[in-house]
Amino acid sequence: MEKFSVLMICMGNICRSPTAEGVLRAKLEAAGLADRVELDSAGTHDYHVGRAPDRRAQRHALARGYDLSALRARQAEAADFERFDLLLAMDEQNLAGLRAICPPGREDRMRLLMSFATRHDAAEVPDPYYGGDAGFERVLDYIEDACDGVVASLGARLGLR
């Protein structure tokens, strides 16, 4: 049985990428793909290594049914390009951070998460860290949309849709 692996990437791995990991995990479970996809998240910077997701991110995610409490921040590393088939960055800045550590020949594994979105035309998932509740809700709206696209793509790739 073919397996696939996805890594969600933002700057500190405490807001957007753990939210994306939690949302995608739930959507994969609902689609019957959870046992076929390895999933993780990481940050391009080491600011919060070992810490749980931001409390606001956890609160907003939980209100929509996504539990992020067990996740812990880590920093992305070159070895992730061997471990993961797809590395999805939240914005261009973090995509550039990935490019800086990408081994030669693995560039095709990187994309922006929002390239999978179908209901929102935003190119990036904005960082909600310095904003209020509306920013965390917008992040969830964008991530849910893009993760629906990721699930559809993985379902087709893994022969289930």
State what percent of residues in the chain have pLDDT above 90. 96
CATH of the domain at 85: 3.40.50.2300
Q: What is the pLDDT of residue 140?
A: 98
Structure tokens at 120: 């929102």
Q: Give the domain range for residue 104.
A: 4-157
Domain tally, the chain: 1
Residues 6 or more apart whose Cβ sits within 8 Å of residue 153: 116
Question: Region 50-78: what's the mean pLDDT?
Answer: 98
Q: Which tens digit of pLDDT belongs to each residue from 2-50?
A: 799 999 999 999 999 999 999 999 999 999 999 999 999 999 999 999 9
Residue from 54, 91, 127, 148 carrying the catalytic annotation: 127
Q: Per-residue pLDDT for 159 more than 90?
A: no
Catalytic residue at 102? no
Catalytic residue at 99? no
Looking at the whole model, is its pTM more than 0.95? yes
Catalytic residue at 147? no
CA-CA-CA-CA torsion sign (2, 88, 133, 13): positive
